[in-house]
Amino acid sequence: MKIVVAGGRDEADFLIGLLLMGKHKLITVNEDMNYCEHLAAVHDDISVIYGDPCKEYVMEDAGIRGCDIVIALREKDADNLEICQMAKRLFAVKKTVCTVRNPKNVEIFELLGVDRAISATYMLAHYIEQASVVEDLVKVMPLENQRVLVNEIRVMSDCPAVGQKIADMRLPFNTIISCIIRDAEVTVPNGQSKIMAGDRLVVMTTPESQKEAVKAIIGSEENEK
């Protein structure tokens, strides 16, 4: 399939890696020049377009017309809605998907024509509640024939991740901390979010990167006991 990834950074990195494993043809559109340079350096088999994906002329130049899917990953929900509606109305894109920060926007966006609006906070909170993973240090849920793993990791006071911002952590490729559970709160972090002792982290990674990811967060294997 021909897929467009609009906006995003850490989550876009993770998604692009997975989509390339599936042999899809990718177009990325991003307003961050440094990130575009990073993508172009890491992936020589995708089309990288620098520009604001909310702008019609940028998406026209990117060649998204008739693509199978547009995935909008901007931080603002309104931007993602605009990208999805424009993709369908002006560029005849078959399917649109976006993330939303506000879980209340899921139903609203789908009523407004977005094929799938995804709230990470809602989905992860529901998974945690249903899976009863509170007591274990690490639990693994395989997805898509074990090409993606969801790990819940409890951060102890002596773990190397304590006090670090996510942007400063040396996480392996294809790894993203997608959720922090702190006390009774579930939050979707960004690069400036700081890890604290007692946090439970929901980490998405691939089987190849799982061991290195866990080690980067909790340190030596002794901390797993």
pLDDT of residue 223: 47
Average pLDDT, the chain: 83
So where are the chain's domains?
2-118, 123-224
Residue length of the chain: 225
d(CA 56, CA 203): 35
Find the radius of gyration of the CA atoms of the chain.
18
Q: Regarding beta strands 47-50 and 185-187, do their DSSP bridges make them parallel or antiparallel, or are they unpaired?
A: unpaired
CA distance 131 to 121: 15
Biggest CA-to-CA distance, the chain = 56
For residue 92, name the pLDDT band (cuts at 50, 70, 90): very high
Q: Does domain 123-224 have CATH number 3.30.70.1450?
A: yes
Query: Which pLDDT band holds residue 86 (cuts at 50, 70, 90)?
Result: very high
61 contact partners, CB below 8 Å, separation of at least 6: 49, 51
Asked if residue 72 lies in contact with residue 96, where contact means CB atoms within 8 angstroms, the answer is: yes
Condensed to tens digits (0 to 9), the pLDDT of residues 111-157 reads 999 998 888 655 555 554 444 433 333 344 444 444 677 778 889 99
The class of domain 2-118 in CATH terms is alpha beta
pTM for this predicted structure: 0.62
